[in-house]
Structure formats: structure tokens, C-alpha cells
Chains A and B, each alone.
Chain A
Amino acid sequence: MLKRTLIGLAMVCGLSAAAPAGEPKAGGVVNAVIQPEPPGLMMGLVQNGPTQMIAGNIYEGLLRYSPKLEPQPGLAESWTVSEDGKVYSFKLRKGVTWHDGKPFTSADVVFSIEFLKQTHARARGNLVQLDKVETPDDATVVFTLKQPFGPFLGIFEVGSLPMIPKHIYEGTDFKANPANNTPVGTGPFMFKEWQKGSFIRLVKNPNYYIKGKPHIDEIYWHVIPDAAARSVAFETGKVDVLPGGSVENFDVPRLSKLKNVCVTGNGWEFFSPHSWLWLNNRSGPTANKKFRQALMFAIDRNFAKDVIWNGLGKVATGPSGSAIKYYSSAVPKYDFDPTKAKALLKEAGYKGEKVRLLPLPYGETWQRWAEAVKQNLQDVGVNVEMIATDVPGWNQKVSDWDYDIAFTYLYQYGDPALGVGRNYVSSQIAKGSPFNNVEGYSNPEIDKLFADGAVAFPDSKRDEIYAKAQKILVDDVPVAWLLELQFPTITRCSVKNLVTTAIGVNDGFRDAWIDK
């Protein structure tokens, strides 16, 4: 029923129609919600969600990505890859200037790489295969790799590799530079004002290198800490854009039904947030493979999708999401089957030991999901104890491996070598961080497959390797995969052409316009 309503809405609002009707109109102000308030907007130093969402308007990457994850021109207008897959040359767009008027050149690209290696954990990982960067002229950058690195063309999105102005940061203490409070990028919008606790204001970049863009004059990002108040702000017309995750999921159907409101689940293809239960592979009942498989059969994931997530998202089949590269569906299947779960628990020799379940403290939706899973597990005879924490407590417990089952979701960044492997390879087992191989799964065969997969050349070889890895993992169940999440972006229908790329709202309001 609910699903049908959403599909109906999709048709009414043109949910899947990316092409806007009519010619873009210039002008107008957009009010959007940001949650929580970002700690800073200097994208090279801060990478959390709200920062990326706002700063994606200020900074730019060399490439952008279509919803199918094909690279598109960004600050680089074209690129070539050598036959052996080791040399990538980028031609930069001409006539690009920083917000302070200085020209953007290849020297800025080289500097950005050096900068991010020091400050950006993910960029550091993405750049391990990089041997050298050369700049034959101001508009050309040549990257040479130590060996072919399959996902290399996928690391240039603005959040992963934002371009940093060399003339502002060179020779300074990056983290203490006063310019961090007045970010300068090449993007379509410029930072104007930040009233802490109230709003952040961006204004149109009049010298943007694409003539006629951006269409919108100003963007206000409102900081509204309470989820119900965010819904009300949208309902009363004070806010026009609710980026994914701004309101509780149970409010989505209600807001979708309002007049002139459009909802889209697009714009998450690059991140493909993948949710699963971290099972402690080291000790307790969850160390037993049969027990872990039993959990996969015991949890009703379709129920979670339809009821808790309002039909949005997809049941996950394994470690890779279906939107990212080298996804394979040829893996063992775990349908909801409590009888099978009970049989497996018996085989595993489970005697009712207590299992600690840690929900994700990100609001009501996650709390309800944890309760549903608890119910599922109790139904097959697992003795579950729910542990309540806040966000820092959750981080600490998960980082210290002090749990049995913990909810989480991670981004996949379009390629198994960037966002999938990190959760399963032994080299990523390290206490003290909540975003690595927390479950403690260690399998030499998987280690080798992921190591080979990253550098295999050409791509057909990668396909084979990852298909094999997915098969093994799904049989081993190191974690219990739940859903490929979709966080709906809710807008007034008059805001056109907002979500156009694989990173959605994070790619900024470059192409958006308001139909007055």
C-alpha cells in the first residue's frame, strides 16, 4: 500500500524525470536545511556530511559523475588514459578563477594533492598508488601510477579530492590558517555569511566559468536542530529543500503528499550507503559462522524496507551495493526463513547466551529498526540485550570492539576498491577507529582477492575477481547485510534540476533553477 503511494507520487511529481521542463530562469533565493551544523566549511580539512553538502557549492573537483558513475567534465574538461593503465593526463578548463580572482592552474592541482595527503584520510588511501604528478603547462596535469589502479578515475569527485587554492595555503599551517573561516573555491557559489546556530549564506559567483550559471542568486542553509521542527519549517514554506536525512523517515510520506512537493531518491549512487550489522567475529556466539548465517535468515529485511524505510531502498544481497561497479548477484541467497534460522542455531550449538545489540543513535528511524531486528532475533530464540548509547558512546564501543551486533552504514564510493574492501581485509583490523574492519573478519583468500582487484588490468579481470570475492563473503557472513539505503531529497517542485549527478545535493546548486 505504502509502496504504491510512493510510486504514484513518483509519477505525479516526475520523480525519475531528470530533464527539466522549459528553459531555466535566472534569479531567486533557495532556503535549505542543514543538519547538524557543520564544524567548518574548508572541505580539505573537514569531511563530514553537512560540510560536504554546503561546501560542494564552493569547491569543485576535477571530475563529476553521472548517476551511472561515468566520469563527466568538472574542472578537467577532458582526460586520456595510457594503454598500460598507468598514466592519466587531464586537460584543465581554461578561464577558471578562484573566488578572489586569481587564476586556477595545474599548480593548484599538485598543491591540492599534497594538501589532502596530510589532512584527508580517505584521499590518503585513494592516492597510495600515485607515483608522481607532472604539469607540462598551466592547463595540463599528468598523473603517473606505480601500477594500474582500477578505481583511479573514480577519485576526483569534490568530496574526495576538492581543489584547494595554492596561493592561500602554501607555506602556512593549514589547520590554523585564518582563511579556513572564509573558504575560497572555484565553485558556482561563494561563501558570504555564517551566523553560528542560525544559518549559512552563499551567494552566486558572478565570474563562474560557465556563462549563465549558476541560475540562483542566493542559498540560505538553515540550522534547525529538531527533526519535527525541520518538518514544520518545510510545511510552513520557510524552507524549500530538505536534503536526504533531514527529517525522520515516517514524516516523508506525509510531506510528500503536500501540494507542489517533489521527492527523489536519486543522487546517492556514488555513496550507495550500505547498511549492515557488524557481527563480532572474534568472540561470543557471533564468532560462529552458522550463527551468523542464522541471523541472515532470521531478519525480515523486506519488512524493514517497506515499513521502517517507507519502501525506499533495496534489500542488500551482499557486500557490494547494486549501483556500484562489479556488483554480482551470483551469490548465496538468504530469504526470510525463521525455521531455517532455528535449525542453523541448533547446529551452531547456541544455548541462549546473551547477545548485546547496539543500535545506531541517529534518531527514531534507527531506533525502530533496532527494535524490529531485536524482535526478529527473539522470535528464533536469540537472547538479545539492547544497549543504549549516544553518538560518541557508540563510536567508542564499536572502535573498542565492545559489542556483539552493531548497526551501521558505510559509503561505498562507487568502487569495491574504495568503499567495500576496507571492511573485510585483515590489514584494516585496527582498534580505535569505527570505520574499518571492525568485525575482525580475517580470510587470506579475501585479502588476496581485494589486493589483486584494486590493481588488476584491464577491467574484465577486476570483474572476475570481485565476483569471486562477493561469493565467498556472502557465504561467510562476516557482517549481516541489511539494506541499500536511499535518503529521499524533498523539495518544492519549483526547484528544478537540483539532483543531476551521482552525489546529488553534494554537487551543489550549479544547474538548479527556480520556476517562479
Chain B
Amino acid sequence: MLAFIAQRIGKAVIVLLAIVVLNFFLIRLAPGDPALVMAGEAGAGDQLFVAQLREKFGLDQPLPVQLFVYVKGILSFDLGFSFRQQMPVSKLILDRLPATLLLTGTAFAISLAFGVLFGTLAARRAGTWTDTAITVLALIFYATPLFWIALMAILLFSVTMEWLPSFGYETVGANYTGLAHMLDVGAHLLLPATTIGLFFMATYTRMTRASMLEVKRLDFVKTARAKGLRDAVIQRRHVLRNALLPVVTLAGLQAGTLVGGAVLTETVFAWPGIGRLMYEALLQRDYNLLLGVFVVCSAMVLVFNLLTDLIYRSVDPRIEFAA
């Protein structure tokens, strides 16, 4: 198994480098560069000002030189310097990563737990009104745009009922500690995490339901039933366990996108995470920062793919490791 992991990591590094080079050129295809954006924001910029900025950022160098400098940095784990924020990219990203992981991690946990639960429930009661209710709700949450759900949630829970805060990560200036702080962050977390969670929950629900109904008809389930096993055991050990494989595949894919996938929600809820950082870097053509976020997100996808493969194995021992 260690050999498998080592091999996969080796491959991942090569993929990552390819991603870096590709992104490097893709970003530069967009019109406008950071120097122009910053001159624009200053409301006045003479030629000297823009030229100074370009020189400082190394944008006056030929593209291959810029690429060389960048890749050299990446290879020594240096993500470069953010032109605009005047800070190392790695620091900016590390500062924001925990908030995003907390948000998307919670959303992921909520969606997976409830998705599998509701999917199982719907499959067991297939055809009844419970099944219909779950399926219809899942369809609605799947089809409704995230930002709309977010705004409606704010309108309902923050503006009208005044139960939950509408923006931010914690109550600024309250200086809570310990449990009070956790509860405060939790209150801020609830709306955005649920917003993201609802969409993913809908996919898991539908997939678990379909998959369980399919497995239920298979011969080994009939055998188990013929053996006289209790229904709960059959559902859990035989049906659910086998039905979960496609759900794990999907969850693995989605876990990889969790880091970058929260741009909209983070923006609407002013959540200080990495999705917003990426979006702002894009609008400001902050090349290094944008590339840095891409690299981190890509690395996450690769890591989660590896983890998914390992989890496969524990869900279904018949699957063997081969790189």
C-alpha cells in the first residue's frame, strides 16, 4: 500500500506542474494586468506610475522568463508574492484556508450525513409519501441557484426573524473566548454551511436512493433474506454498504472542489475564505495570488482523489491497490 501511495504522489506532482504551466498562460490571456488595475484604482496614474508597477512585479520581463521564475519558486514551495496585497501568497492562503475548510467541511459533513440518511429512508419507503416528499425536496434544492437560497435564508433568518447573523465569521469586537467563541462562530457558520450543504445533500440523497433500490434487487440480498437475517442487518450490511460505492466516488470528486467551490456563498455571507480570495485576485489580475489559489485547490483535488481510493478499499475489500 505504501508503494501505491508513493507512486500516486509522484504522478500527482507531475500533474500539478502541468496545471501550473497551463494556468500560468490561461490567466495571462485575460485582458488587463495588475499594474493597470492598480493605477486605475488610484484614480490617477501617469506612465511612470504604471511602468514602475510593471517593473516591480516583473511584468516587464518576457513571458518565458516570468514562467521560469514562477516554476522555480513553486519547486521550492514558494508561491510567490502578491502584487496587490503586499504579502507572500502562501501567508494569504494559509490565513484564509481554515475558514474555508471549516465552512466547506461542515457543509460536506452535513450533506453527506443527511444525504445518505434521507436517501436510505426514501429507498426503504420507496413509493410512499415519505419517499415522494424527500425526492421532491431534493429536486428543488438541486435545481435552485445557491445565491438565491443564500439571499432567501438571510432574508428569513437574519432580517425577519433576527435569529442568525447575516455576514462574517464571528461577532467582530465581541472578543468571545472558549465555548462562547465556538457558539458564536457556529451561529455564523450555520446559514452559509447549510446553503452549500443543501445542494450537495440533494445529490447524495438521490444517488443513495437510486443505488440502494438497485442493490436491493440483487441475488445476494435475496440470499440474505432467505437465510432469515433481520431486515435492519440486511439493509445496513448488505444493501447500504454496496450502495455506497457510487456515493463515495461522488463525494471524493466533490471533496476536491470544496476549497474553491464556495466563491458565491463566501461572497454573499462575507465569509473570509479562500473562494473570495480567488475571486478578488481574478478581478484584480493578481496573477501570483490567483495561481497560488489554483495550485492549492489542485493539490487538494489530488489529495482527495488519493483518499477516495483508500476509502474505496475499506468500503469494498475486493478492490485492490494498483497505481
Bound Cα distance A175, B52 (Å): 11
Bound Cα distance A225, B268 (Å): 7
Once A39-B38, A222-B270, A228-B151 are accepted as A-B contacts, the answer to whether A47 and B44 lie under 8 Å apart by CB is yes
Bound Cα distance A515, B37 (Å): 40
The minimal Cβ–Cβ distance linking B310 to chain A, given in whole angstroms, is 33
| Other-chain residue from A121, A220, A392 in contact with B284 (beta carbon distance below 8 A) | A392
B167 x A197 contact (CB < 8 A): no
| B159 cross-chain contacts in A, Cβ below 8 A | 232, 235-236
At the interface, yes or no: B86 with Cβ under 8 Å from chain A?
yes
At the interface, yes or no: B261 with Cβ under 8 Å from chain A?
no
Interface centre among A225, A232, A238 (most CB of B within 10 A): A225
B172 x A199 contact (CB < 8 A): yes
Bound Cα distance A6, B28 (Å): 46
Bound Cα distance A399, B172 (Å): 41
At the interface, yes or no: A133 with Cβ under 8 Å from chain B?
no
Bound Cα distance A124, B158 (Å): 48
Look across to chain B and name the residue whose beta carbon is closest to the beta carbon of A435.
B44
Bound Cα distance A121, B159 (Å): 44
* B-binding segment of A144-152, A365-373, A426-434: A426-434
| Other-chain residue from A223, A391, A397, A435 in contact with B270 (beta carbon distance below 8 A) | A223
The minimal Cβ–Cβ distance linking B252 to chain A, given in whole angstroms, is 29
| Other-chain residue from B43, B46, B56, B167 in contact with A229 (beta carbon distance below 8 A) | B167
Look across to chain B and name the residue whose beta carbon is closest to the beta carbon of A410.
B43
| A37 cross-chain contacts in B, Cβ below 8 A | 280
Bound Cα distance A235, B154 (Å): 12
B283 x A175 contact (CB < 8 A): no
Bound Cα distance A62, B194 (Å): 52
Q: For residues 162 through 209 of chain A, which have their beta carbon under 8 Å from a beta carbon of chain B?
A: 175, 180-181, 195-199, 201
Once A224-B270, A395-B32 are accepted as A-B contacts, the answer to whether A435 and B167 lie under 8 Å apart by CB is no
At the interface, yes or no: B30 with Cβ under 8 Å from chain A?
yes
The minimal Cβ–Cβ distance linking A240 to chain B, given in whole angstroms, is 12
Once A220-B173, A233-B166, A390-B283 are accepted as A-B contacts, the answer to whether A435 and B36 lie under 8 Å apart by CB is no
Interface residue total, chain B, C-beta cutoff 8 A: 52
Once A196-B96, A232-B166 are accepted as A-B contacts, the answer to whether A121 and B44 lie under 8 Å apart by CB is yes
Once A226-B268, A434-B40 are accepted as A-B contacts, the answer to whether A39 and B49 lie under 8 Å apart by CB is no
| B168 cross-chain contacts in A, Cβ below 8 A | 198-199, 222, 224
A229 x B40 contact (CB < 8 A): no
The minimal Cβ–Cβ distance linking B100 to chain A, given in whole angstroms, is 10
B154 x A198 contact (CB < 8 A): no
B172 x A220 contact (CB < 8 A): yes
Q: Count of A-B contacts with CB under 8 A?
A: 159
| Other-chain residue from B39, B43, B272 in contact with A196 (beta carbon distance below 8 A) | B272
B283 x A198 contact (CB < 8 A): no
The minimal Cβ–Cβ distance linking A417 to chain B, given in whole angstroms, is 14
Bound Cα distance A201, B172 (Å): 9
Once A232-B166, A238-B166 are accepted as A-B contacts, the answer to whether A197 and B272 lie under 8 Å apart by CB is yes
B-contact bits for A34-49, CB 8 A (1 contact / 0 none)? 0011011000001111
At the interface, yes or no: A494 with Cβ under 8 Å from chain B?
no
The minimal Cβ–Cβ distance linking B143 to chain A, given in whole angstroms, is 22
Look across to chain A and name the residue whose beta carbon is closest to the beta carbon of B49.
A121
At the interface, yes or no: B85 with Cβ under 8 Å from chain A?
yes
Bound Cα distance A233, B172 (Å): 13
B-contact bits for A258-271, CB 8 A (1 contact / 0 none)? 00000000000000
B96 x A433 contact (CB < 8 A): no
At the interface, yes or no: A122 with Cβ under 8 Å from chain B?
yes
At the interface, yes or no: B135 with Cβ under 8 Å from chain A?
no
The minimal Cβ–Cβ distance linking A183 to chain B, given in whole angstroms, is 12
Bound Cα distance A324, B148 (Å): 44
A49 x B162 contact (CB < 8 A): no
Question: A40-B85, A389-B31, A391-B37 known; 7 other A-B pairs, CB under 8 Å?
Answer: A29-B173, A46-B42, A196-B272, A392-B33, A392-B37, A396-B33, A396-B36
User: Residues of A with Cβ closer than 8 Å to B?
Assistant: 29, 31, 36-37, 39-40, 46-49, 121-122, 124-125, 175, 180-181, 195-199, 201, 218, 220, 222-226, 228-229, 232-233, 235-236, 238, 389-397, 399, 410-411, 430, 432-436
Nearest 5 Cβ contacts at the A-B interface:
A392-B32, A197-B272, A48-B41, A396-B32, A121-B49
26 A-B pairs within 8 Å (CB atoms) are namely A29-B173, A31-B173, A48-B41, A48-B43, A49-B41, A121-B39, A201-B173, A228-B268, A229-B166, A229-B167, A229-B269, A232-B166, A232-B167, A233-B166, A233-B167, A236-B159, A236-B166, A390-B283, A391-B32, A392-B284, A395-B36, A396-B33, A411-B43, A430-B46, A433-B47, A435-B44
